[in-house]
Amino acid sequence: MTTPRPDIPERTREKWQRMVDLISEIADVPATLIMRTLPPDHSVAVSSASPENPYVVGQSFTLHENLYCFGVLQNDGELVVEDAACDPRWSCNEDLEADEMGFYIGYPIKWPDGGVFGTICVLDRSRNEKALLFRKGLQEFCGVVEDDLAMLMEVERRKTVQQTLRETLASQEAKIERRTKALEEANIALRVLVDNVEERRKDAEQRVYDQIRELILPLVTKLRQLHSDEDVEAVYLDMISENLEGLSTIVSSDVAQALERLTPTETEIVQLILYGRTTKEIANVLSRETSTIDFHRNNIRQKLGLKRHQNLRQHLACLSH
């Protein structure tokens, strides 16, 4: 992620202003400048408030080889010109011709990523021994400016990251909202589907029950009348009748699980117990001894986990509801 170059805030400009004023006082020079480079322009960003300083903030120059600061940027380092009038390289520069500024010391100012911000420099109309001795001090002030630029870049980077995070968060929230809405719509559709299935199931059960009641139970009633004197056949007819009537209801999962653990004979005995038959009646229906029925009842109790004080018929009745 490339961090954009921030504008220099007023508070930082005020700090730099105090700094260049101090440099001019210490080095005893009429002009201390912080220059901003935005090729092809090179303009005054901060200028010392010295009474003999001819440079004003906003004053702009076009970069070319006869400009002192061009030499700084070309060297990518220090430039010292003690007397431009005696130096063929600088004898035709603008500062000497316009304001007789023949003495110059300058250093490049860079952004933390290595890009050029501009220069910091001092100028005088004659060779200045104090300024020459203050070269390391000027480099230190250059470092202060670069530290400020690094801090501004970091602040800008964090703002960019925060903005990116806010945009990402907003995007995720919008995505979650869309998905939530889609899930709500899917849930509504699912509830409608489940309701329709349940309604159809009830309709199907009702049709089965109606057909049993209208077509089969009348025949069972007639069979019961024909065999009313035969006890065993009557018992089985009663069981058939009650089982058919029970087809319209859902057998509970507890009853289903209990019957899975029983043998076919035990299952038959459970049904007879639920119909209220005594041990003697069950033995008569199944053509077994009562002791055999008692044996099966004990097995049933064990498989259902019943204790001695628990009633088998009541337990079976509870399971079936």
pLDDT, tens digit, for every residue of 89-142? 998 888 877 788 999 999 999 999 999 999 999 999 999 999 999 999 999 999
Count of the separate structural domains present in the chain:
2
Q: What is the pTM of this model?
A: 0.56
Model confidence pLDDT, tens digit, residues 46-100: 999 988 999 999 999 999 998 999 999 999 999 999 999 999 999 888 887 778 8
User: What CATH number does residue 280 fall under?
Assistant: 1.10.10.10
The answer to whether residue 165 sits within a structural domain is: no
Note the pLDDT of residue 214.
Answer: 66
Q: How confident is the model at residue 268 (pLDDT cuts 50, 70, 90)?
A: confident
What's the pLDDT at 67? 92
Task: Let me know whether 143 and 256 are in one domain.
Answer: no
Please say which residue of 158, 182, 216 terminates a domain: 158
CA 118 vs CA 42, 177, 285: distances in Å:
8, 49, 113
Q: In what order do the strands lie in the sheet with 79-81?
A: 60-62, 41-47, 31-38, 116-124, 103-110, 79-81
| Domain boundary pick from 158, 178, 197 | 158
User: Per-residue pLDDT averaged across 187-196, rounded?
Assistant: 89
Asked if residue 267 is part of any domain, the answer here is yes
Please report whether residue 14 resides in a domain.
Answer: yes
Domain that holds residue 308: 251-321
Last residue in a domain, options 123, 158, 193? 158
Give mean pLDDT, residues 206-226.
Answer: 68
CATH number at residue 154: 3.30.450.40
